[in-house]
């Protein structure tokens, strides 16, 4: 996966991708409660914006996806050797499901109070449920279900036909993935990074498509 560094006439070349910057931000805030909470927006059928807080649950390992897959490294799924597709989850009964079906374009805002950094991540949302025919993404969905806390799994299991104690059956094993549990993926195409400490710094990273592959470019801009 290649990247192009664009030189801004006022500030000179950048040398860190949004993905590398985010890795540092996450590491510095890891011990802060709620540091993995992000705000994500959708649009309803009337064109009205909707925004809510969800939990960021890591990045999709897309190395083993087919080369022509929309989330493969060849299509911008990796930057600087790091995965870019962002994982979350949602419930099939949530209003955001019909909003994503209507318009998959979304923007995430991730604020790090400890370091006064903000990431605005724009891209398309994909919801992976029982009917989604993609083996690799179904595996990722099942893995996420298994990695949830017991109380989080329980929140998806209010159907009394599924015997469960805090997301586990009578035998103590994690119950199968319910149909209403959806893997939610944000496939980023544009990231606006802003640091407010010291001399303010702002950087735009954008995916650029050509006939062969997608690459990321970066440039520093004035706040």
The Cα 37–Cα 11 span in angstroms is 32
Report which of 72, 97, 99 is spatially closest to residue 84, judged by C-alpha positions.
72
Distances in Å between the alpha carbon of 209 and those of 16, 68, 173, 204? 20, 13, 45, 16
- CB contact burial 164-195 (16+ within 10 A = b; e otherwise): beebbeeeeeebebbebbbbbbbbbbebbbbb
User: What's the confidence (pLDDT) of residue 125?
Assistant: 97
Cα 140 to chain centroid distance, Å, stands at 13
Q: How many CB atoms are closer than 10 A to CB 160?
A: 7
Here the tokens at position 48 are 């009205």
Q: What are the backbone angles phi and psi of residue 61, rounded to the nearest 5°?
A: -80, 100
- List, for residues 21-33, the tens digit of each pLDDT value: 999 999 999 999 9
- List, for residues 140-195, the tens digit of each pLDDT value: 999 999 999 988 998 898 765 555 566 777 777 898 999 999 999 999 999 999 99
* pTM of the complete model: 0.88
Q: What are the structural domains of the chain?
A: 3-221 (2.30.110.10)
Taking CB atoms within 8 Å and a gap of at least 24, the contacts of 144-153 are 144/57, 144/87, 144/89, 144/183, 145/174, 145/177, 145/181, 146/174, 147/57, 148/89
Here the tokens at position 62 are 């897309």
User: What's the confidence (pLDDT) of residue 10?
Assistant: 42
């Amino acid at each position: 996966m290649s990247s192009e560094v664009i030189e801004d006439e006022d500030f000179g070349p950048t040398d860190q991708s949004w993905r590398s910057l985010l890795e540092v931000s996450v590491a510095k805030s890891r011990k802060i409660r709620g540091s993995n909470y992000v705000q994500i927006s959708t649009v309803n059928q009337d064109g009205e914006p909707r925004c809510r807080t969800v939990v960021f649950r890591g990045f999709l390992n897309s190395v083993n996806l087919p080369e022509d897959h929309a989330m493969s490294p060849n299509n911008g799924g990796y930057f600087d050797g790091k995965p870019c597709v962002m994982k979350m989850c949602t419930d099939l009964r949530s209003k955001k499901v019909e909003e994503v079906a209507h318009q998959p374009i979304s923007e995430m805002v991730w604020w790090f109070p400890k370091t006064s950094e903000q990431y605005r991540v724009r891209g398309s949302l994909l919801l992976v449920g029982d009917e989604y025919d993609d083996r690799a993404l179904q595996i990722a969905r099942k893995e996420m279900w298994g990695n949830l806390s017991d109380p989080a799994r329980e929140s998806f299991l209010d159907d009394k036909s599924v015997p469960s104690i805090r997301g586990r059956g009578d035998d103590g094993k994690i119950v199968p993935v319910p149909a209403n549990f959806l893997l939610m993926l944000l496939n980023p195409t544009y990231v606006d990074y802003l640091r407010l400490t010291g001399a303010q710094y702002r950087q735009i990273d954008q995916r650029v498509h050509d006939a062969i592959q997608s690459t990321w470019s970066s440039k520093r801009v004035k706040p």
